[in-house]
């Protein structure tokens, strides 16, 4: 299991005699611009013409990296925030780390990858995912106290409630160097990543949020279990509603579109668009 160590300028993942350097999100804040695609794993992702948009950067998440194999497209970023994925699907996680330009994972996921194959991570462009109020090597506080102390922070937007816990866990980070809100779906983490990096037009592929349609790569139905039905109304929907109200409706230079027309997420929260509408938007920018 990796430990996180640092000196004055850099920080590393350390295990035995191995020290693997990590990059900082804050060093690349607003470093990019334009349009970016987020590739989720819902069934509708199988129908998306990836090669048609190969000139644009793609963010792959968990098993969605498999969507890029046949097209021989290199994802710009690969994100994994679930340690169970590289543990139970190590071959897919290894493939993702080999193909992506940049890799962002939590410490446990990096440890599981390294345990599977110690040759994968050295030399890669690696970023550490941390949750807000869940920082490594720091003492965490209650969600309510964290939300209260950061209620006026321009980069860590969050809800706050004295009486209920859930609003204190919902928010949006404008600086991934200070952690991210999980939203109970990796797509939500990816949105905070692309905001930090500076992209303005975000197109989400395969965000069906429907357990019945499954994952596009899971033909047998025996893949990793999903908690979508458990988390949807408590965390996923409220997180996207928070994003819509606190970011999208007040900030003209950050737009998010859902390319899954049958997505469970309402059009009133994240607008759904067709491929024709996508092409029109891309031609305007």
Residue 94 CB coordination number (10 Å): 16
Q: Is the dihedral of CA 226, 228, 230, 235 positive or negative?
A: positive
pLDDT score at 130: 95
The Cα–Cα gap between 186 and 196 comes to 15
* Cα 42-199-25 angle, rounded to 5 deg: 90
Adjacent-strand bridge partners of 171 = 158
The Cα–Cα gap between 233 and 75 comes to 31
C-alpha to C-alpha distances, 70 to 66, 73, 89, nearest whole angstrom: 8, 8, 19
pLDDT score at 232: 95
pLDDT score at 138: 82
β-pairing, 201-205 vs 255-258, is parallel
The Cα–Cα gap between 197 and 113 comes to 25
Read off the tokens for 46.
């199988």
Residue 180 CB burial class (10 angstroms; 0-12, 13-18, ≥19): buried
Sites in the chain below the pLDDT cut of 50: none
Rounded to 5 degrees, φ, ψ at 114 are -65, -35
pLDDT score at 80: 95
pLDDT digits (tens, 9 = 90+) for 127-153: 999 999 988 878 888 889 988 888 899
Cβ(130)–Cβ(109) under 8 Å?
no
- Name the 3-class secondary structure at 96: helix
pLDDT score at 229: 83
pLDDT score at 218: 79
End-to-end CA distance of the chain: 45
Q: Is the dihedral of CA 67, 73, 75, 80 positive or negative?
A: positive
Cβ(120)–Cβ(114) under 8 Å?
yes
Q: What is the DSSP letter of 43?
A: G
pLDDT score at 8: 67
Q: What is the DSSP letter of 272?
A: B
pLDDT score at 224: 54
In terms of CATH architecture, what is 22-283? Alpha-Beta Complex (3.90)
pLDDT score at 226: 66
Read off the tokens for 222.
């025996």
| pTM for this entry | 0.94
What is the torsion angle, in degrees rounded to the nearest 10, for the CA atoms of residue 73, residue 55, residue 29 and residue 271? -100
């Amino acid at each position: 299991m990796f430990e996180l160590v640092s000196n004055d300028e850099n920080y590393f993942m350390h295990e035995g005699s191995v020290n693997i350097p990590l990059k900082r999100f804050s060093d690349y804040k607003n470093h990019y611009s334009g349009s970016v695609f987020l590739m989720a794993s819902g069934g509708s992702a199988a129908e998306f013409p990836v090669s048609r948009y190969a000139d644009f950067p793609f963010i792959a998440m968990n098993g969605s990296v498999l969507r890029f194999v046949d097209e021989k497209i290199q994802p710009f970023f690969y994100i994994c925030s679930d340690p169970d994925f590289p543990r139970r699907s190590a071959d897919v996680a290894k493939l993702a780390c080999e193909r992506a330009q940049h890799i962002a994972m939590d410490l446990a996921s990096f440890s599981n990858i390294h345990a599977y194959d110690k040759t994968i991570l050295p030399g890669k462009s690696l970023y550490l995912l941390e949750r807000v109020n869940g920082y490594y090597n720091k003492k965490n506080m209650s969600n309510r106290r964290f939300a209260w102390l950061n209620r006026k922070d321009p980069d860590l937007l969050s809800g706050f409630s004295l009486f209920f816990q859930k609003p204190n866990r919902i928010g949006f980070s404008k600086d991934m160097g200070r952690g991210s809100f999980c939203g109970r779906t990796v797509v939500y983490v990816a949105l905070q990543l692309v905001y930090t990096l500076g992209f303005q037009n975000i197109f989400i592929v395969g965000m069906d949020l429907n357990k019945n349609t499954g994952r596009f790569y899971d033909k047998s139905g025996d893949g990793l279990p999903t908690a979508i039905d458990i988390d949807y109304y408590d965390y996923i929907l409220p997180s996207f509603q928070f994003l819509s109200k606190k970011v999208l409706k007040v900030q003209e230079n950050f737009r998010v579109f859902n390319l899954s027309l049958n997505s469970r997420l309402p059009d009133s929260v994240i607008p759904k668009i067709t491929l024709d509408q996508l092409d029109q938007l891309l031609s305007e920018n």
